[in-house]
A and B are shown apart, each in its own frame.
Chain A
Amino acid sequence: MGIFSVYIVNKAGGLIYQYDHNSQRTEIEKTFSYPLELVLKTFDEKVMVAFGERDGIKVGHTVLSINGIPAEGKYLQDRRDILEVLNDETNYPINIKFGRAKLTANEKLMLASMFHSLFAIGCQLSPEQRSSGIELLETDTFKLHCFQTMTGIKFMVITDPKQTAVDIFLKKLYEVYSDFALKNPFYSLDMPIRCELFDNNLQLAIEQAERLGVSNI
C-alpha cells in the first residue's frame, strides 16, 4: 500500500523512468459453460468485459488466459482469436482467467504523454492568473501527485488516497534524480534513466515515505 507507482516525464512529454511498487492485481479464474454470461469487447487491443459481473469479475477486467494459455492482446499465445474461441460452443466448458490487465510499456508511454498534455490544458483553462498545470488529481481509488521542476521535468507519483506527506517524497525524488541521474556523467539528459544507484535510492525513498505517511495517519 502507500505508493503505487512513479513516473518521470521529460519536458517534451517523453517517459524517461517508470517504476511500479506494490502492484498486487486481482485475478479471478472460473470455469464457464456455454453461453458466456458476460458481454466482451475489444478495447486497447485487449478483450475486456463490457457488461455483466460474476463472482468478482468486474466490468473493465480483461481476459488474461484461457485454459491456462496466456493471452497476448486479442489473441492467445497459440495465435487463436480470443473472441472466436469464446463464441464457439464446442470449446465449452472453458476456463477463463480475468483480471485488471497490467499496463504494457507502450501504454505507459502513452499515458505519460497524455498527462503531459492534460497538465498543459489544465493551465490554459485556468480561471485565475498564473496557474500551474495539474498538481494533484483525486479519484476514488488513487491520487496522482505531480511536481514540475523549473526545468520542465515532471515527477508523477500515484499513491493510495490516504497516503500523506507526498510533497516531501516528491522533493526527495527530485534530489535522487539530480544526484544519481543528472550527476552521473554517463547519463544523457532527457533520455531514459537506467542507473542502478538511482533505482536503489528511489527504492529507499519510497520505503521511507511509506513509513512516514503511515505514522502520520
Chain B
Amino acid sequence: MTIYNFYVFDRNGTCLYYVDWNRRKQSGMSADEEYKLMYGMIFSIKSFVNRISPTDVKDGFMSFKTSQYKLHFFESLSGLKFIMNTDLNVGNIRDNLKQIYSTIYVEYVVKNPNCELDKQITSDLFRTKLDDYIKGLPFFAAKVS
C-alpha cells in the first residue's frame, strides 16, 4: 500500500498545503494550475453529488476510485478540505484525515499566531508533524518498486 500525495484547501479555494511522497506521474501543468483544477474538481463533485443523490445527503462525497488510485476526501464544518491520494488497497481513512485536521492543523496552524489562516502554510513544525504522522500510518509504504 502507498500514499501518493496530500492537499489542503481552505474554503476560498486557496491551496494551503501540498506534499507528495510516492507520486509517479505529474499532471503536466504548473502547481498552481493543478491546485485550481483539483479544487474545481472537488467543488464540482460536491455539487454533482448533492444534486444526483436520491436522498438527503449528510457527509456527501467521501472518496472515488479509478483503475490506479483512490482519492479520499474530508471536509471540516468550517470548509477546510483535506484530500489524500492512495493506492486502491487502502480502505476508509476519513478518521485519519479528521485526525490530521484536529490534532495537527488545529494545534500547529490555528493555534500558531504567526500562521495566517488564508495563506499557504509555511510552518516547519506543521510540516514535520504531518510528515511524522503520515509516515507512521500502517498503509504508508516508503518505496514500492
- Interface on A for B, CB 8 Å cutoff? 4-5, 23, 25-26, 44, 58, 60-61, 100, 103, 107, 111, 114-115, 117-118, 121-142, 144, 158
Contacts and interface: CB of A to CB of B under 8 A. Distances in A.
Contact of A136 (B50, B60, B64): B64
Given A122-B66, A128-B24, 5 more contacts: A118-B41, A124-B27, A135-B67, A138-B61, A142-B53
Nearest to B83: A125
Nearest to A61: B56
Contacts of B23: 127
B77 interface: no
A117 B41 CA distance: 9
Given A111-B52, A135-B66, A127 B4 contact: yes
Contacts of A100: 54-56
Interface string B29-41: 0000010011011
B45 A118 contact: yes
A141 to B, nearest CB: 5
Contacts, number: 122
A135 B65 contact: yes
10 contacts: A111-B52, A118-B41, A121-B41, A124-B37, A128-B68, A135-B64, A136-B64, A139-B49, A139-B57, A140-B60
Contacts of A158: 52, 54
B44 A118 contact: yes
B68 A129 contact: yes
A143 to B, nearest CB: 10
Contact of A114 (B24, B48, B65): B48
> Which of the listed residues A115, A126, A142 has the most CB atoms from chain B within 10 Å of its own CB?
A126
A136 B66 CA distance: 7
B124 interface: no
B64 A140 contact: no
B111 interface: no
Given A136-B65, A137-B64, A111 B51 contact: yes
Chain B interface residue count: which class? 35 or more
A158 B5 CA distance: 28
Contact of B4 (A25, A128, A136): A128
Contacts of A117: 44
A38 to B, nearest CB: 15
B25 A122 contact: no
Contacts of B51: 44, 103, 107, 111
A62 to B, nearest CB: 12
A125 B57 contact: no
A6 B23 CA distance: 34
A57 to B, nearest CB: 10
A133 B45 CA distance: 13
B69 A128 contact: yes
A126 B25 contact: yes
